[in-house]
């Protein structure tokens, strides 16, 4: 292997330089504040977890995990998501009473990348987990909080795409009979391969009516009307629970007043086995990838020994920044240039400005080689040099 250059970073790792840091920080603050206002409590969990527990419970593919060994020979993973660690904490420590838990996080997660650039291997997520409540009100709260957070962040054009895994499963099983057959058809949806889906349907030994039902299933996209269309597609009671839930969800979203941002897409399958009910992804103008996603995952807590429902979402901070577009570089930092004679005066002035909330640096003029270049960087310059009075340059 050739030796590394000093500037190289591992594949997918990024630096955050001051201008971006500032924007990211402000953005996270806004979202955090909103989430807190809804009564969610933030927690932190370790960066490293055991592969055997959190690693395998996570929804992230095995080949995307960063793995290492500890001194005892246990395999560790850099946390690939925050949901599994939070499920671990909740199940082992917090879920002592029969009370719904509202937890939130703001953390980096790690997913190793094989492909080219444009896919960070470490990125920040802000999200919530609402544990111990199986009602659709919990799902509705998740979606509405997501929308409130995006509004707070200043994103204008976005859409939350909502599906229901339970509906897909019961509808497919009703027509296809077995779980295995339903799963192989679901896989086409997961891969977003509608051509393959249709070809597969054509090859199945089914009546032309059932084939048509499966074809029509792909058209279940839109707003409220989708629910009644879905109702027409299923027969009997199987799958009607899911339809009821979708109707409830719609009513809840209307009561929150956020239904305008939501579209149903019942063919949405974001994971083959992780989610169990309502799932959603959020897309924004100008970003090719989802900026956030979420859903109900009622089976995860069981892996940590607690049988209870949960739902949650995560927003990708990096993609959200992309959605907000380029904002011109601005810093509001002021500069006081001083020489030794007036050092005390400079410090005094800086103290006053700082307590007024102004960002200010004090710079010994002898430490600057090019005063003009230095002054150009700042909003306002105060020169406290020599014995003259205070001088404001710009």
Partner 1 sequence: MSDILTIAMPKGRIFEEAADLLREAGFRLPAEFDDSRKLIINVEEENFRFILAKPMDVPTYVEHGVADLGIAGKDVMLEEERDVYELLDLHISACYLAVAGLPNTELNEIAPRIATKYPNVAAAYFREQGSQVEIIKLNGSIELAPIIGLTDRIVDIVSTGKTLVENGLIEYERIVDITSRLIVNPASYRMKEQRISELVNRLTDVVKEKESAK
Residue 103 φ then ψ, to 5°: -115, 155
Asked if 289 is part of the footprint of partner 1 (rule: CB under 8 A), the reply reads yes
Pick between residue 92 and residue 157 the one whose CB is nearest to partner 1. 157
Give the closest residue to 229 by CA, choosing from 220, 238, 240, 218.
Answer: 220
Residue 350: burial class (beta carbons within 10 Å; 0-12, 13-18, 19+): buried
Residue span binding partner 1 (CB under 8 A) among the ranges 11-19, 193-201, 236-244, 326-334? 193-201
Give the closest residue to 250 by CA, choosing from 130, 138, 140, 135.
Answer: 140
Asked if 157 is part of the footprint of partner 1 (rule: CB under 8 A), the reply reads yes
* Out of 112, 144, 161, 170, the residue judged to bind partner 1 by CB under 8 A: 161
Pick between residue 241 and residue 271 the one whose CB is nearest to partner 1. 271
Pick between residue 100 and residue 290 the one whose CB is nearest to partner 1. 290
- Closest approach of partner 1 to the CB of residue 14, in Å: 17
- Closest approach of partner 1 to the CB of residue 157, in Å: 7
Q: Are 69 and 75 in contact (CB under 8 A)?
A: yes
# residues contacting partner 1 (CB under 8 A): 22
- Closest approach of partner 1 to the CB of residue 287, in Å: 6
Pick between residue 100 and residue 196 the one whose CB is nearest to partner 1. 196
Q: Are 372 and 380 in contact (CB under 8 A)?
A: no
Give the torsion through C-alpha atoms of 79, 82, 84, 89, to 10 deg: 100
Pick between residue 44 and residue 156 the one whose CB is nearest to partner 1. 156
Asked if 194 is part of the footprint of partner 1 (rule: CB under 8 A), the reply reads yes
Question: Taking CA 24 as the corner, what is the angle to CA 20 and CA 25, rounded to the nearest 5 degrees?
Answer: 115
Chain mean position to CA 98: 28
* Out of 156, 216, 255, 285, the residue judged to bind partner 1 by CB under 8 A: 285
Site string for partner 1, 236-275 (x = CB under 8 A): ---------------------------x-x----------
User: What are the Cα distances from residue 129, in Å, to 45, 68, 232, 312, 375?
Assistant: 14, 27, 34, 4, 47
Residue 201 to residue 215: CA distance in whole angstroms: 8
* Out of 45, 53, 64, 159, the residue judged to bind partner 1 by CB under 8 A: 159
Asked if 192 is part of the footprint of partner 1 (rule: CB under 8 A), the reply reads yes
Pick between residue 160 and residue 243 the one whose CB is nearest to partner 1. 160
Pairing outcome for strands 310-316 and 122-131? antiparallel
- Closest approach of partner 1 to the CB of residue 199, in Å: 8
* Out of 1, 4, 6, 195, the residue judged to bind partner 1 by CB under 8 A: 195
Asked if 293 is part of the footprint of partner 1 (rule: CB under 8 A), the reply reads no
Pick between residue 263 and residue 303 the one whose CB is nearest to partner 1. 263
Give the DSSP letter of residue 366.
G
Asked if 211 is part of the footprint of partner 1 (rule: CB under 8 A), the reply reads no
Residue 340 to residue 344: CA distance in whole angstroms: 8
**Restricting to residues 97-126, which ones interact with partner 1 according to CB under 8 A?**
118
Q: Name every residue whose Cβ is closer than 8 Å to that of residue 309 and which is 6 or more positions away in sequence.
A: 131, 132, 133, 134, 138, 296, 298, 301
Q: Name every residue whose Cβ is closer than 8 Å to that of residue 174 and which is 6 or more positions away in sequence.
A: 234, 235, 236, 238, 239
Asked if 200 is part of the footprint of partner 1 (rule: CB under 8 A), the reply reads no
User: What are the Cα distances from residue 115, in Å, to 50, 78, 111?
Assistant: 26, 19, 12
Asked if 287 is part of the footprint of partner 1 (rule: CB under 8 A), the reply reads yes
Pick between residue 193 and residue 238 the one whose CB is nearest to partner 1. 193
Look up tokens 């409590």; give the residue.
41
Residue span binding partner 1 (CB under 8 A) among the ranges 54-62, 279-287, 338-346, 376-384? 279-287
Residue span binding partner 1 (CB under 8 A) among the ranges 77-85, 95-103, 288-296, 370-378? 288-296
Asked if 283 is part of the footprint of partner 1 (rule: CB under 8 A), the reply reads yes
Contact positions vs partner 1 (CB under 8 A): 118, 157, 159, 161, 192-196, 198-199, 221, 263, 265, 281, 283-285, 287-290
């Amino acid at each position: 292997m050739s030796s590394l250059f000093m500037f190289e970073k591992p594949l997918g790792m990024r630096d955050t330089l001051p201008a971006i840091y500032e924007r990211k920080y402000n953005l996270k603050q806004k979202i955090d504040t909103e989430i807190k206002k809804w009564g969610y409590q933030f927690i932190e969990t370790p960066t490293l977890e055991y592969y055997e527990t959190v690693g395998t419970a996570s929804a992230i593919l095995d080949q995307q995990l960063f793995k290492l060994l500890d001194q005892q020979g246990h395999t560790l993973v850099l946390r690939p998501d925050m949901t599994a660690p939070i499920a671990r904490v909740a199940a082992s420590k917090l879920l002592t009473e029969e009370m719904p838990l509202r937890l939130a996080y703001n953390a980096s997660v790690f997913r190793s990348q094989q492909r080219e650039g444009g896919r960070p291997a470490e990125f920040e997520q802000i999200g919530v987990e609402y544990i111990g409540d199986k009602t659709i009100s919990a799902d509705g709260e998740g979606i509405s909080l997501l929308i409130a957070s995006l509004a707070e962040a200043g994103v204008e054009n976005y859409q939350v795409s909502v599906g229901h895994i339970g509906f897909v499963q019961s509808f497919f099983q009703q027509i296809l009979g077995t779980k295995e057959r339903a799963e192989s058809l679901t896989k086409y949806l997961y891969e977003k391969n509608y051509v393959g889906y249709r070809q597969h349907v054509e090859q199945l030994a089914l009546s032309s009516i059932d084939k048509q039902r499966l074809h029509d299933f792909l058209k279940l996209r839109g707003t409220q009307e989708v629910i009644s269309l879905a109702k027409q597609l299923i027969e009997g009671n199987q799958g009607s629970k899911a339809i009821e839930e979708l109707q409830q969800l719609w009513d809840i979203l209307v009561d929150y007043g956020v239904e305008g941002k939501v579209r149903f897409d019942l063919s949405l399958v974001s994971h083959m086995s992780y989610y169990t009910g309502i799932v959603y992804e959020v897309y924004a103008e100008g970003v090719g990838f989802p900026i956030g996603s979420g859903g109900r995952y009622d089976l995860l807590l069981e892996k940590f020994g607690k049988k209870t429902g949960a739902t949650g979402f995560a927003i990708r901070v990096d993609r959200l920044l992309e959605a907000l577009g380029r904002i011109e570089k601005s810093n509001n930092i002021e500069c006081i240039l001083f020489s030794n004679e007036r050092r005390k005066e400079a410090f005094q002035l800086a103290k006053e400005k700082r307590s007024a909330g102004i960002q200010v640096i004090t710079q010994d003029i002898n430490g600057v080689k090019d005063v003009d270049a230095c002054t150009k960087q700042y909003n306002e310059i105060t020169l406290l040099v020599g014995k003259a009075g205070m001088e404001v340059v710009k």
